[in-house]
């Protein structure tokens, strides 16, 4: 399937309806994804990015239906990650001398992965490539989200080819942001930001401000995953600036795991306390053993505070909590508060360990936590409710 985008610009990518796990097993893609590639047929012809390796043959065959490959003057590799470069070996086998425009780091990542000495042309921010009456302007986007990442801008048509930035893992043949279900779209946008881009938030802010300072009119943002932004593309830029700025909503998320329900009961009494103290805060209670990891990360990203709960097992905590807090440490969320809780039968180390992990993950601990011996009795129930009330007050 190919798709006319605007004037002489065509989408020649691949919609992957079946994708459910991305980055190995790291990212859940409940709604599939797409690998967007664009063909610009001006006096000179440029191809921007390709598709993921499993679709390499299909991608090239489809492209041949759109153009004689020998007519492609320039290949632009905005980013070397395999979901965008995976079809390059298949393509370059057929047009081996065609120049590939990428950053200096792009050469390293492409050579490192494919071990081919293609005809690389290194570009940097501000370099221009003439396609005839229009030009491609290159904009390095280092660490958004790889060292090699780059965007490019098509003059006259005012299209920003943003690669991963502003994308979503979202399969839809409707193609445009204004045509798809808005709840689905924004849920996928924030999940993508929370799970992939959060560690690079300072780069996001800097790069967006740098691009805005260029005063380039942007009519379309053609991303490398998901929909094309054509209806008020500034809206996703504005959202990125918000998300990059220590984002939080009025939400508390309880992440926990439980062996025999005692820690779960604690979580529910804590919620009762939060609710008695604050009837507006949004509360999410997520059992990590039963929840999708990336959905949980998205909820934590949205939260102003979290509560982490685990019973003590073998003088430690349940591994679901340990794994999640390690993930969250790497994502480096900012400006969020936390407290910990858990039940125990004899030694009772879990809360102390959770406190350390939560602190190391960059959260501000608001108290020493709450531990309850065996199942909560009436006194412990009161403690949990009070704990919830005080947490709500301290995180208001």
List, by residue number, the catalytic residues: 23, 79, 81, 83, 145, 164, 192, 225
3-state SS of the chain is: CCEEEECCEEECCEEECCCCEECCCCEECCCCEEECCEEEECCCEEEECCCCHHHHHHHHHHHHHHCCHHHCCEEECCCCCHHHHCCHHHHHHHCCCCCEEECHHHHHHHHHHHCCCCCEEECCCCCEEECCCCEEEEEECCCCCCCCCEEEEECCCCEEEEECCCCCCCCCCCCECCCCCHHHHHHHHHHHHHHHHHHHHHHHHHHHHHHHHCCCCCCEEEECCCCEECCCCHHHHHHHHHHCCCCCCCEEEEEECCCCCHHHHHHHHHHHHHHHHCCCCEEEEEECCCCCHHHHHHHHHHCCEEEEECCCECCECCHHHHHHHHHHHHHCCCCCEEEEEEEECCCCCHHHHHHHHHHHCCCEECCCCEEEECCCCHHHHHHHHHHHHHHHHHCC
Whose Cβ is closer to ligand FEO: residue 145's or residue 337's? 145
Whose Cβ is closer to ligand FEO: residue 50's or residue 383's? 50
Write out the two tokens for 378: 């009436």
Stretch of residues binding ligand FEO (CB under 6 A), selected from 75-83, 116-124, 245-253, 325-333: 75-83
CB of 163 to ligand FEO, least distance (A): 7
Please name the residues in contact with 53: beta carbons below 8 A apart, sequence gap of 6 or more. Answer: 82, 86, 87
Whose Cβ is closer to ligand FEO: residue 140's or residue 257's? 140
Query: Applying CB under 6 A, does 83 fall inside the site for ligand FEO?
Result: yes
Burial of 1 (C-beta count, 10 Å sphere; 0-12/13-18/19+): exposed
Stretch of residues binding ligand FEO (CB under 6 A), selected from 41-49, 81-89, 154-162, 345-353: 81-89
CB of 212 to ligand FEO, least distance (A): 23
CB of 35 to ligand FEO, least distance (A): 8
Q: Using the rule CB under 6 A, which residue among 14, 31, 145, 371 binds ligand FEO?
A: 145
CB of 34 to ligand FEO, least distance (A): 10
Whose Cβ is closer to ligand FEO: residue 146's or residue 243's? 146
Q: Using the rule CB under 6 A, which residue among 31, 79, 264, 284 binds ligand FEO?
A: 79
Cβ-closest residue to ligand FEO? Answer: 81
Q: Using the rule CB under 6 A, which residue among 42, 81, 257, 299 binds ligand FEO?
A: 81
CB of 164 to ligand FEO, least distance (A): 4
Please state the length of the chain. Answer: 396
Query: Applying CB under 6 A, does 207 fall inside the site for ligand FEO?
Result: no
**Tokens 């290159």 belong to residue:** 138
For residue 270, the tally of other CB atoms under 10 A from its CB is: 29
Query: Applying CB under 6 A, does 84 fall inside the site for ligand FEO?
Result: yes
Query: Applying CB under 6 A, does 164 fall inside the site for ligand FEO?
Result: yes
Query: Applying CB under 6 A, does 225 fall inside the site for ligand FEO?
Result: yes
CB of 169 to ligand FEO, least distance (A): 9
CB of 79 to ligand FEO, least distance (A): 5
Which positions touch ligand FEO (CB under 6 A)? 79, 81, 83-84, 145-146, 164, 224-225
């Amino acid at each position: 399937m190919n798709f006319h985008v605007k004037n002489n610009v065509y989408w020649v990518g691949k919609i992957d309806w079946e994708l459910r796990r991305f980055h190995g097993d790291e990212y859940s893609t409940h709604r599939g994804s797409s690998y967007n590639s664009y063909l610009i047929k001006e006096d000179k012809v440029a191809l921007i990015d390709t598709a993921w390796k499993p679709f390499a043959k299909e991608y090239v065959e489809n492209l041949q239906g759109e153009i004689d490959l020998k007519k492609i003057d320039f290949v632009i590799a905005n980013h070397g990650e395999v979901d965008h470069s995976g079809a390059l070996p298949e393509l370059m086998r057929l047009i081996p001398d065609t120049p590939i425009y990428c950053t200096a780091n792009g050469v390293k990542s492409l050579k490192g992965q494919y071990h081919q000495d293609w005809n690389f042309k290194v570009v940097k921010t501000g370099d221009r490539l003439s396609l005839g009456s229009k030009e491609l302007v290159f904009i390095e986007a280092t660490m958004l989200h790889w060292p090699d990442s780059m965007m490019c801008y098509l003059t006259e048509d005012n299209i920003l080819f943003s690669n991963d930035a502003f994308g979503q893992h979202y399969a839809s043949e409707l193609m445009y942001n204004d045509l798809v279900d808005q709840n689905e779209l924004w849920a996928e946008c924030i999940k993508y930001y929370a799970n992939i881009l959060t560690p690079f938030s300072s780069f996001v802010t800097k790069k967006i401000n740098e691009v805005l300072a260029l005063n380039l009119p942007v009519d379309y943002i053609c991303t490398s995953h998901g929909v094309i932004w054509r209806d008020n593309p500034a809206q996703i830029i504005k959202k990125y600036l918000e998300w990059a700025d220590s984002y939080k909503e009025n939400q508390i998320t309880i992440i926990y795991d439980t062996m025999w329900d005692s820690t779960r009961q604690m979580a529910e009494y804590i919620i009762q306390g939060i609710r008695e103290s604050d009837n507006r805060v949004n509360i999410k209670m997520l059992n990590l053993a039963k929840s999708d990891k990336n959905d949980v990360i998205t909820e934590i990203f949205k939260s102003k505070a979290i509560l982490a709960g685990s019973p003590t097992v073998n003088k430690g905590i349940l591994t679901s909590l340990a794994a999640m807090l390690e993930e969250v440490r790497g994502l480096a969320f900012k400006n969020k508060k936390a407290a910990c809780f858990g039940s125990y039968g004899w030694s009772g180390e879990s809360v102390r360990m959770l406190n350390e992990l939560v602190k190391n993950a960059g959260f501000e601990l608001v108290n020493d936590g709450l531990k309850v011996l065996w199942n909560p009795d009436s006194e412990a129930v009161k403690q949990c409710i009070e704990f919830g009330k005080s947490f709500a007050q301290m995180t208001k």
